[in-house]
Amino acid sequence: MPADPINILAIESSCDETSAAIIQDGKVLSNIIATQKVHERYGGVVPELASRAHMQNIVPVVDTALKDAGVNKKDITAVAFTRSPGLIGSLLVGACFAKSYAQALGLPLIAVHHMQAHVLAHFIDSKPEFPFLCLTVSGGHTQIVLCRDYLDMEVLGQTIDDAAGEAFDKVAKMLGLPYPGGPLVDKYAALGDPLRFKFPMSEMKDYEFSFSGIKTSVLYFLQAQKKTNPDFIAENLNDICASVQYTIINMLMNKLRKAAKDLHINHIGIAGGVSANSGLRKAIKEAGEKYGWQVYIPKFEYCTDNAAMIGITGYHKYLKGEFADMTVSPDARSAW
């Protein structure tokens, strides 16, 4: 008789996406994502509103994930949830739900680190060879990660201030675009000239990044231009977006190239929300051809926050017997 499949129910609620997924033996059966629209009009995520929206969304999202997967709740093997990092109120909703669910059904509980999960999203559809390097770029983090094995990762360097996604979103806000602005900057950038305006690139040591400088230089640049031409943004939106995106991507790629060269690793991936950016996807493909890298780029739905990546991480933790007990509590910012 074949062994029972390992069905992981995974829950992600670290920021403004309520997501649930069912992963069977490491394969995604369903991945439901409810994106909270409530934040759009505020120009950024409002933590209290995010927690409330998670509370409203979580039951229907989990229910849909089970139905879409065709899996009965009595066939779930373990419950995985995002423990850290994130907005504490948002994390609490997912953690409380996961703990209650696990306790009610007598299931093991698995606590997952969100940034580790972004990296392991690569293993949903492909199988990068170890060791590989991952540039994880999201709304809250920018990291170069050395992955020696599924659960053996080291952050080689990260941003000392803003994350790359934050830089995209803040520039978008200056341009009058709604939150999250990253995808819109990407859209307008595709129509513009990346060399039209020049913005300074930060020079950081080792594998560190800094994105607060570009944000400030764009702010001063726009203020100066608007003094002589109040319609400057509207008339130059595509070129501004293309130039800002070009600068951010160059900063990211310079460090990634340095890490690949220093460590002699040619299996390279990008992950996190900003890895959905078409310019970055193109840049890493081109670098792959130029430097002989084997490049890994997640599908769009696994770039931004999703529970499938929590489930794949949960699956590997399950195989290693890494379980949490009922005293586990979420943490807004923990190292993995």
Q: Which residues bind ligand KG4 (CB under 6 A)?
A: 15, 138-140, 165, 168-169, 180-183, 186, 272-274, 276-277, 304-305
Helix, strand, coil share of the chain (percent; to 5): 50, 20, 30
What string marks each residue from 136 to 155 as x (binds Zn ion by CB under 5 A) or -?
Answer: --x-----------------
Backbone φ and ψ for 155, nearest 5 degrees, come out as: -80, 115
Q: Which of ligand KG4, Zn ion, none binds 182 (CB below 5-8 Å, type-dependent)?
A: ligand KG4
Minimum separation from the CB atom of position 25 to ligand KG4 (A): 26
Minimum separation from the CB atom of position 185 to ligand KG4 (A): 6
Q: Give the binding-site size for Zn ion (rule: CB under 5 A).
A: 2
Which residue lies nearer to ligand KG4 by CB, 192 or 273?
273
Name the packing angle between helices 164-174 and 212-228 (round to 10°): 10
Hey, which residues between 243 and 302 contact Zn ion (CB under 5 A)? none
Q: Which of Zn ion, ligand KG4, none binds 276 (CB below 5-8 Å, type-dependent)?
A: ligand KG4
Q: Which of Zn ion, ligand KG4, none binds 168 (CB below 5-8 Å, type-dependent)?
A: ligand KG4
The first and second tokens of residue 48, run together, are 């209290």
Minimum separation from the CB atom of position 115 to ligand KG4 (A): 8
Which residue lies nearer to ligand KG4 by CB, 159 or 304?
304
Q: Which of ligand KG4, Zn ion, none binds 16 (CB below 5-8 Å, type-dependent)?
A: none
Which residue lies nearer to ligand KG4 by CB, 146 or 274?
274
Minimum separation from the CB atom of position 164 to ligand KG4 (A): 8
Which residue lies nearer to ligand KG4 by CB, 226 or 282?
282
Cβ neighbours of 270 (radius 10 Å): 27
Closest residue to ligand KG4, judged by C-beta, is 273
17-24/27-35 β-pairing: antiparallel
Q: Which of Zn ion, ligand KG4, none binds 183 (CB below 5-8 Å, type-dependent)?
A: ligand KG4
- What DSSP character marks residue 185? H
Minimum separation from the CB atom of position 239 to ligand KG4 (A): 17
Minimum separation from the CB atom of position 40 to ligand KG4 (A): 12
Minimum separation from the CB atom of position 13 to ligand KG4 (A): 12
Q: Is 28 helix (H, G, I), strand (E, B) or coil?
A: strand
Instruction: Give the Å distances, CA to CA, from 220 to 154, 216, 239, 244, 247.
Output: 37, 6, 17, 13, 16
Which residue lies nearer to ligand KG4 by CB, 157 or 181?
181
- Of the candidates 99, 305, 306, 317, which one interacts with Zn ion according to CB under 5 A? 305
Which residue lies nearer to ligand KG4 by CB, 108 or 192?
192
C-alpha to C-alpha distance for 327 and 317, rounded to whole angstroms: 18
C-alpha to C-alpha distance for 233 and 200, rounded to whole angstroms: 19
User: In whole angstroms, how large is the CA radius of gyration of the chain?
Assistant: 20
Half-sphere exposure of residue 105: CA atoms within 13 angstroms, side-chain side: 17
Minimum separation from the CB atom of position 76 to ligand KG4 (A): 25
Give a three-class secondary structure readout of 245-286. Answer: HHHHHHHHHHHHHHHHHHHCCCEEEEECHHHHCHHHHHHHHH
How many angstroms separate the first and last alpha carbons of the chain?
38
| CA angle, 322 then 324 then 330, to 5° | 125
Which residue lies nearer to ligand KG4 by CB, 171 or 268?
171
Binding site for Zn ion (CB under 5 A): 138, 305
